[in-house]
Amino acid sequence: MKGLSDPALAGAARRLTESIQGLGARLANDGRTIRIMEVCGTHTMAIARSGLRHLLPANVILTSGPGCPVCVTGPGYIDAAYALAEQGAIIVTFGDLIRVPGSRLNLAEARARGGEIHVCYSPMEGLRRAQESPDRQVVFLAIGFETTAAPIVAMLDLAVGARVENLSLLTAFKCVPPALTALIGDPEIRIDGFLCPGHVSAIIGAEAYRFVAETHHIPCVVAGFEPLDILLAIEGILSQLVTGQSRVDNQYQRVVRPEGNLKIQSLMERHLTPADVDWRGIGVIPQSGLALRPAFRTFDAEARFDRWVQPGKIHGDCQCGEVLKGKITPPECRLFRRGCHPDHPIGPCMVSSEGTCAAWFHHDPATHLVENGHG
């Protein structure tokens, strides 16, 4: 396994792998093939980078879900941001979004055409830009799951307190639990266990997934991001399946509490309200997003500029939507390594540092064998 040079860690990995092999064999004896979905892009990248997928029994399949917030953001959002840049607004965005394709162009191309677009590492950069340029409108591209929404809302709270009037958010916040409900309800998808996201769970808490285990009888394990964390989580899911149980195990207790971070939850609730939002490849999921409350409408870029996000147009051959639902793996996409690659991404899953296609492209040796004519 990649990344485990310490003998003690390597020994622990071997023991976990042997346990997983044994549990997989017991399930195979019952004729069961197990599909475990991770719903966190950081897990997706960690699994690919460390080669974990190739250590599992043949009947235990890891599949990636909609765990990358950039990937589930539709092209219409990019179109709206592009239009705001053309109107003269200063755009501040995280780097993952800069090369995501819109209906025609991306934000990197908007910048090349004269748009003022700044890549940031912290939402506070948006507030700083607005304070330094009081005669200009500054728009922060506010996308992400609960993890990213928290610091963006903290920045907004400071802006409200400081009476900064030239800052607005173009929001595309999304919440993980409603997405799990949508995936479970899709008859074309079968999921036997969820590897729940560590970062998101630090905000919303492990108890947020209780409905998955109790109502839908699907085991859940909240996991960290080291190879051993992930192996331990997989072992936990398989152990539940072997014994016929379904519960939420929190194996990331060093970071995640059952109730989550109540202070941050309160801050988010004060500024945001649930909303129906569109997920690339999945469609509109009721109450799966977070929009600014009416009291903060003046900070809503759509309302301020009367520039509303429309559906947009997706490349006809791009199958990112199917990848995001775990229906296909990246190599099964018609465009993977056949025109779509990191230097020329056609879909967002190849752009983001947490994108499933990017993870397979960079770290899965089988895809390189296929590309070189050996598969």
Max mean pLDDT among 174-183, 276-285, 351-360 falls in: 174-183
Residue 336 has pLDDT above 80, yes or no: yes
The verdict on 18 and 156 lying in the same domain is yes
The answer on pLDDT for 8 being more than 90 is no
Average pLDDT value for residue range 247-268? 97
Assigned domain for 1 exists: no
Instruction: Indicate if 226 and 148 belong to the same structural domain.
Output: yes
Q: Do 221 and 356 sit in the same domain of this protein?
A: no
Q: Is residue 116 part of a domain?
A: yes
For residue 366, what pLDDT band results from cuts at 50, 70 and 90? Answer: low
- Give the pLDDT band (50/70/90) at residue 52: very high
Kindly list the distances between the CA atom of residue 162 and the CA atoms of 110, 131, 228, 238, 265, in Å, as whole numbers in the listed order: 31, 9, 45, 51, 22
In a domain, 148, yes or no: yes
pLDDT above 50: residue 286: yes
- Which structural domain, as residue segments, surrounds residue 340? 320-368
Domains held by the chain: number? 2
Among 293, 315, 337, where does a domain finish?
315
Q: What is the pLDDT of residues 177-214, one digit of tens each?
A: 999 999 999 999 999 999 999 999 999 999 999 999 99
Q: Give the per-residue pLDDT at 375.
A: 34
Establish if 345 belongs to a structural domain: yes
Q: Do 118 and 259 fall into the same domain?
A: yes
How do residues 75-90 score in pLDDT, each as one tens digit? 999 999 999 999 999 9
Q: State the average pLDDT over residues 135-158.
A: 96
Is 328 found in the same domain as 245?
no
Position 45 in a domain: yes
Percent pLDDT > 90 in the chain is: 82
The pLDDT, as a whole number, for residue 374 is: 33
Q: 3-state SS string over the chain?
A: CCCCCCHHHHHHHHHHHHHHHHHHHHHHHCCCCEEEEECCHHHHHHHHHHCHHHHCCCCEEEEECCCCCCCCCCHHHHHHHHHHHHCCCEEEEEHHHCCCCCCCCCHHHHHHCCCCEEEECCCHHHHHHHHHCCCCCEEEEEEECHHHHHHHHHHHHHHHHCCCCCEEEEEEEECHHHHHHHHHCCCCCCCCEEEECHHHHHHHCHHHHHHHHHHHCCCEEECCCCHHHHHHHHHHHHHHHHHCCCCEEECCCCCCCCCCCHHHHHHHHHHEEEEEEEECCCEEEEEEEEEECHHHHHHEHHHHHCCCCCCCCCCCCCCHHHHHCCCCCHHHCCCECCCEECCECCCHHHCCCCCHHHHHHHHCHHHHHHHCCCC
**303 C-beta neighbours (distance < 10 Å), count:** 15
Residue 95 sits in the same domain as residue 201: yes
Domain of 82: which CATH number? 3.40.50.11740
Q: Does the structure show a pLDDT above 70 at 72?
A: yes
Task: Give yes or no for residue 329 having a pLDDT over 90.
Answer: yes
Q: Are residues 213 and 244 in the same domain?
A: yes
Looking at residue 128, its pLDDT comes to 97
- Residue in the structure block whose two tokens are 């939420």: 248
Residue 201 falls inside a structural domain: yes
Query: Is 9's pLDDT higher than 90?
Result: no
213 or 313, which is more confident: 213
167-174, strands of its sheet edge to edge: 117-120, 90-94, 138-144, 167-174, 283-292, 272-279
β-pairing, 167-174 vs 90-94, is unpaired
User: Across residues 318-344, what is the average pLDDT?
Assistant: 92
Q: pLDDT digits over 204-245, tens only?
A: 999 999 999 999 999 999 999 999 999 999 999 999 999 999
Same-domain check for residues 84 and 209:
yes
CA-based end-to-end distance of the chain: 23
Examine the domain organization and report whether 131 and 266 are in the same domain.
Answer: yes
Same domain membership, residue 196 and residue 335: no
Domain final residue, candidates 315, 341, 359 = 315
High-pLDDT (> 70) share of the chain, %:
95
Residue 372 pLDDT greater than 60, yes or no: no
- Averaged pLDDT of the chain: 92
In contact, 289 and 274? CB cutoff 8 Å? yes
In a domain, 126, yes or no: yes
Q: Do 223 and 335 belong together in one domain?
A: no
Residue type, 126: G
For residue 1, what pLDDT band results from cuts at 50, 70 and 90? low
Q: Which residue has the higher pLDDT, 372 or 10?
A: 10
pLDDT of residue 364: 75
Residue 374 lies in a domain: no
The reply to whether 241 and 333 lie within a common domain is: no
